Each structure stands twice: as C-alpha cells, then as structure tokens.
Amino acid sequence: MNATLVFVLLALTLLALFACLATRRAKNLPDADHALTAIRSIDIEAFRNLIDPQEETFLRTSLSAPEFRRVKRERTRAALAYVKALSQVSLQFAHFGDVARKNPDPAIAASGRQIANSAIYLRLRALDASVQLTLSAIFPGSGPRALRSLLEQYDHATSLLQSHHGLQRARSQVS
C-alpha cells in the first residue's frame, strides 16, 4: 500500500512539473514583434557604412598608411560587433521560424519554414563575414571585400519576417 502511494505521489509530482515546464515554455515562445524589435535594434546603415568599399577607398587615399591601418582595424572591430549582433538575431529568427512552422495554419507554417531557412543562410553569411573581417583586420593593406551577400540576406530575412507578421495579424483579425 505504501509503495503504491509513493508511486502515485511521484507520478502526480512529475505531472505537475511537466505541466509547469510546458506553461513556462509556452510563455517563452517568440513573437514577430520581439523578433522585429531585435532586428531593428541594429543600426544597419552604420554597418553598411563601415563595410562600404568606396568608404575604404576614400580613407586609403586620405590617410597616411599607418593611420589608415589603425582606422581600418578600428572600423573592422566595429563591423565585427555588428556581424556578431546579426548572428545572434539570426538565431532568434531561426527559433521563431521553427515555432511558426509548427502552426496548424498552412500559410503560417510555410512562412515559418521560409523564415527558418532564411535565418540559417543569414547565420552562414554572418560566419563568412566574420572570417572576411578578421582577415581584413589582420591584413589591413588588402583590398576591400564587399559583404553584399550578408546585407542581401539580412534584407531578405527582414522582409520575410515582416510579411509573416502581417500574415499573422491578418489571420488573427479574421478569427
């Protein structure tokens, strides 16, 4: 009798624990507003300026060689900080897309798949940009390398998220 009571109490305790974890996880599900806020917190125009090849050419012609190397290293460190932020945002996008793709609404699920895939590509482009920028910091005399693919993927991921956000709002207003 005592062993049965212990097992029943243990089962009820585990059930309560799982229910608590499930509710906590449901509260932590990402929403489009949070993801959009995260992506908008990055000053992408400042980042574009830091990696602009024309800006680098201008600095190369305007500054002495030692001064140019110092400035380029500083700009590269700042650009690396932006790339790290983009990489972190891509993880949020991937998580958001993964949750959205499990939605029972087929349109929202398809949009979630696109966001998750785009987030993976954004993360890969950010990793590639990190390598390029690190090499650029080590060898500041090398020519400018455009990071256009990172910026294009950023724009694509952002537009997908905004489209998904609009779709979700439209679906919630219909319901």
Question: What would the pLDDT profile of 56-92 be if each residue is shown by its tens digit?
Answer: 889 889 999 899 889 988 998 999 999 999 998 888 8
**Is there a contact between 123 and 99 (Cβ–Cβ < 8 Å)?**
no
Residues in the chain, total: 175
In this prediction the pTM is 0.71
Q: What is the CA radius of gyration of the chain?
A: 23
Which two structure tokens, joined as six digits, stand for 67? 């001064």
The residue behind tokens 């998750």 is 116
119 and 160 belong to one structural domain: yes
Residues 84 and 118 in one domain: yes
Give Cα separations from 101 to 87, 89, 121, 149 (angstroms).
21, 18, 17, 25
Q: Which helix (H) or strand (E) holds 96?
A: helix 65-100
pLDDT in tens, 12-64: 787 777 676 655 544 444 566 666 677 777 888 888 888 888 888 898 899 99
* Distance, C-alpha 148 to centroid of its chain: 17
User: Quick one: pLDDT at residue 32?
Assistant: 61
Q: What is the pLDDT of residue 155?
A: 86
Question: pLDDT at residue 144 above 70?
Answer: no
Q: How far apart are CA 55 and CA 141, in angstroms?
A: 14
**Residue 69 buriedness (CB in 10 A; 0-12 / 13-18 / 19+):** middle
Domain that holds residue 69: 31-174
100 and 159 inside one domain: yes
132 and 148, same domain (yes or no) = yes
What average pLDDT score do residues 157-174 get? 75
Whether 18 and 95 share a structural domain: no
Query: Of residues 172 and 153, which shows the higher confidence score?
Result: 153
Asked if 48 contacts 83 with a C-beta cutoff of 8 angstroms, the reply is no
- Rounded CA-CA distance 49/22 in Å is 44
Shared domain for 94 and 112, answered yes or no, is: yes
pLDDT at 83: 92
Give the mean pLDDT of the chain: 80
